[in-house]
Amino acid sequence: MSSLFPRWMNTLPTALGLVGAGATAAAIGGVWYYFTPSYWEVGYMPTQPGNGFNHQIHAGKLGMDCLYCHTNVESSSHSNVPPVATCYGCHAENRMTTPTAEKVGFIREAYANDEPIPWREIHILPDYVQFPHLAHVNAGVSCYSCHGQIAGMPVVHQVENLAMGWCLDCHRNPEENLVPRDKVTDLVWVQNEWMNQPVEQRKYHGMTAETLAQSLVQDPPQHCAACHY
């Protein structure tokens, strides 16, 4: 979605008008913006450059931790995708005999030219929404709750609609989505050992869903200004 109203408070009536009218497209300042209901974005899976990146192999089979590449998730509002140097560390010419040059040539080429690999963004929130990754990850919300079973995805796609109602559903009842802090990036464990249990039966080293919720520093916010500047 485009940044329609950065100073959204000022233009709220317009925004509601447009959304209410169910307008599919509108010309604003000569530029066309395209409005799509969020649920249409579930499943969004753009074609990635080169041979792409396979989470099922790296995070699943090889068991690499998410933080090895997404170094910012617990320290910054915005997450990040890794620079080509991270890939090159393993896929340089002289490091491994597999995969073939045909498969990882795009990494070596980008590295040699000192150019980033132009990964296409999948999860995108409008500019008028503030979403701090670090607060969620540090509170014990697993990547699994918002991004699905990434460790099983050959190609990442969007599994949640990222709509306002989705944020609020969890904010009203975080207990169901909290996991022990040291398990946040262990998506297979989260899915198979924690989320598959009824909330009241979840237990790990004396921690329960209830004690995790009680230990939150603050309740997840529901007032407008928490998420809208």
Enumerate residues 94-123 that contact ligand HEC by CB under 6 A. 98-99, 103-104, 107, 119, 121-123
Pairing assessment for the beta strands 25-28 and 31-34 based on DSSP bridges: antiparallel
131 touching ligand HEC, by CB under 6 A: yes
Q: Is 33 helix (H, G, I), strand (E, B) or coil?
A: strand
Cβ pair 23, 34 in contact under 8 A: no
Write out the E strands in 24-138: 25-28, 31-34
Out of 2, 10, 192, 222, the only residue in the binding site for ligand HEC (CB under 6 A) is: 222
Q: Which residue lies nearer to ligand HEC by CB, 136 or 202?
A: 136
C-beta of 17 vs 200, nearer to ligand HEC: 17
How far is it, in rounded angstroms, from Cα 149 to Cα 215? Answer: 26
| String marking each residue 166-185 x if it binds ligand HEC according to CB under 6 A | xxx-xx--x--x------xx
202 lies in the site for ligand HEC, by CB under 6 A:
no
* Residue type present at position 127: D
Residues contacting ligand HEC: total by CB under 6 A: 82
The token pair that represents 37 in the structure block: 């209901």
> What part of residues 9-68 is at the interface with ligand HEC (CB under 6 A)?
12, 15-16, 19, 38, 48, 51, 53-55, 57-59, 62, 64, 66, 68
* Site for ligand HEC contains 226 (CB under 6 A): yes
Element housing 204 (H / E): strand 203-204
